[in-house]
Amino acid sequence: MPSVLDQIIDGVREDLAGREARTPLERLRRQCDGLPAPRDAEALLRRPGLSVIAEVKRSSPSKGALSDIPDPAALASAYAAGGATAISVLTEQRRFGGSLADLEAVRAAVDVPVLRKDFIVTEYQVWEARAHGADIVLLIVAALDDRRLSDLMALAGSLGLTCLVEVHDEAEATRAVDAGASVIGVNNRNLKTLDVDIETFARIAPLIPASCVRVAESGVRGPEEAAVFARAGADAILVGEALVVGGDPEAGVRSMIAAGEQA
């Protein structure tokens, strides 16, 4: 039986085929001509203290609907006002309710780096990210073989994009390091089962060289978890659900940054 990740990627490929038919790759590449250079997200994530990558997230496969988010630009602006180092925007539609329009709206509203968070498996999607204003792309090791991972990293790098390379076990961490990833996210959620184990980051972080930016993903419910991940060696945390349901996204970001400083 296909895993949850496999099912999501099947849907992503179906939706991608429609976009490719409407906008051929050459036209997409021309749209990138003359765009401002992407922001150097990696340099910002390396600054002292715990960085927060705050996420525009309407729903998830594990929890269903989380928040309507009628104005993603306003939410992103609140995150930035709270001190978020970067804004993550879900662009996968079927399971997460996101879109490239959300990405464009957020890009127009904030000056901090923006992450296109999706299930990227083709070069076309990397060009899409650049064309719609992303500075960072997510590459999930579990969804890619070594050759495709390296090819997508190389393309993203040539476009000036930062790669957030996501792993969720020891073998994937080794693959990410061997591929030359410099920003590595440890997802405490197993995308094949959707189970969350917040001990995953502490277990895998020692396998990631100190020269890399280490990002803890999933399971951050508030300042307490932010502090736990900071003590375990996280340079940044990626937070979605806790911020979109918490009622005060600006204060939520501030509290997590403060917890990281205290840790």
> How many angstroms separate the CA atoms of 125 and 1, rounded?
27
Cα–chain center distance at 99 = 14
Rounded to the nearest 5°, which phi and psi values hold at 92? -75, 130
Cα–chain center distance at 202 = 19
**Contact partners, residue 92, CB within 8 Å, separation at least 6:** 8, 12, 98, 117, 118, 119
From 104, 117, 182, 188, active-site residue? 117
From 59, 60, 182, 187, active-site residue? 187
From 172, 190, 218, 241, active-site residue? 218
> How many angstroms separate the CA atoms of 87 and 236, rounded?
12
From 166, 172, 225, 241, active-site residue? 166
Determine contact, residues 201/216, Cβ cutoff 8 Å.
yes
> Strand, coil or helix: what is 165?
strand
Active site residue 182: no
**DSSP result, 228-247:** HHHHTT-SEEEE-HHHHSSS
Active site residue 224: no
DSSP 8-state assignment for residue 196: B
From 51, 57, 60, 88, active-site residue? 57
Active site residue 217: yes
> How many angstroms separate the CA atoms of 68 and 53, rounded?
20
Active site residue 192: no
From 217, 225, 241, 250, active-site residue? 217
From 51, 55, 59, 241, active-site residue? 55
Active site residue 172: no
Determine contact, residues 124/25, Cβ cutoff 8 Å.
yes
DSSP-assigned beta bridge partners for residue 45 = none
Nearest Cα neighbor of 155 from 122, 115, 119 is 122
Show which residues are catalytic. 55, 57, 117, 166, 187, 217-218
